[in-house]
Amino acid sequence: MTKKQIKSSILAKQSNGSIQLTFPIPFSEIEKIKQEIALKEAPNVTVSGFRKGKAPISKVREAISEEALGEKALSNILPEKFNKAIKEHNLRPVLFPKFELVENKENKPWTVRAITCEAPKITLGDYKKAVKEAIIKGTVKNKKLSKLDKENLAVSSLANSIKFELPEILVLEEVNARLSTLLDRLEKLGLSLDNYLNSINKTPESLREEYKKQSEANIKLDMILTEIANKEKVSLKKSEVDGMLKISQSSSTSSEKFPENEHRSRIVSILKKRKVLDSLAGAA
């Protein structure tokens, strides 16, 4: 592990690809936010012996509990502190951080650790040549490959010719998200995880390993296509994006909807990667 201290935060890069940022938060700042939260919630807090909203703020804080106030204070403070830390170290994280409270002693600065990761460096090489050769080799004599066949060969070629390691934390996050989605679906169907695993002849360990391999492949392909789209300066017409937005919004459930700007960014990213794959599959 290598450590480098810059200004108010400490950067530690782990061998598994994760990044740790440790930074102090002045106790006075924590206390100020706690007080503001207590004052804001005071009108709705019931304190024995006082009319609602009329209790002294010290009693309100006791009723809310210092632990709950501390958690709420950190929720308010951490985004700003984290953004400051990544700017200090010129980092570009690709994963929402996990925060750990390292120390929270009374009248002393609190110490927080944020764990995240950056995207790995990707060297594309002569990917166009590799894909073209793969499609030519995959062509069966007197039989024209379908578009899907070419796309599959292009994906396989990219995976085989462009090698890089993913941060472990990034893969773990994707695996856990997939498992969580599976559990939600099983619950809606009234099925237990054990019965489901028995039906597909898998164990929890083998399912997690399968999800890990699939997640690694999907994340790598997504990063490769994004890197190519950036390198080739792939552009989109406004009508393309608007058309896909309209289709996606009409087919999405309320639980799948994102803020408009975020939704548009997702659509742009998907369409650019689609253009890259179409171009590679049609190059041979």
The reported pLDDT for the residue numbered 259 is 63
Query: Rounded to an integer, what is the distance from CA 255 to the centroid of its chain?
Result: 18
CA atoms within 13 A on the CB side of 217: 11
Nearest to 130 by CA among 271, 228, 233: 228
DSSP letter for each residue of 218-237: HHHHHHHHHHHHHHTT----
The reported pLDDT for the residue numbered 247 is 83
The reported pLDDT for the residue numbered 15 is 85
The reported pLDDT for the residue numbered 255 is 43
The reported pLDDT for the residue numbered 6 is 45
The reported pLDDT for the residue numbered 228 is 96
- Tokens for 123, please give them: 């060297």
Mean pLDDT, contiguous 10-residue spans, the chain (284 residues): 62 90 94 92 84 83 88 94 93 93 92 94 94 85 79 94 94 96 94 93 95 96 96 90 82 56 85 93 75
Task: Tell me the whole-structure pTM to 2 decimals.
Answer: 0.80
- Rounded Cα distance between 136 and 153, Å, is 10
Cα 21 to Cα 27, 106, 121, 131, distances in angstroms = 19, 22, 20, 40
**Full set of structural domains in the chain with CATH:** 2-117 (3.30.70.1050), 127-281 (1.10.3120.10)
The reported pLDDT for the residue numbered 20 is 95
- Rounded Cα distance between 122 and 163, Å, is 8
The reported pLDDT for the residue numbered 261 is 74
Is 76 within 8 Å of 60 (Cβ atoms)?
A: no
The reported pLDDT for the residue numbered 141 is 58
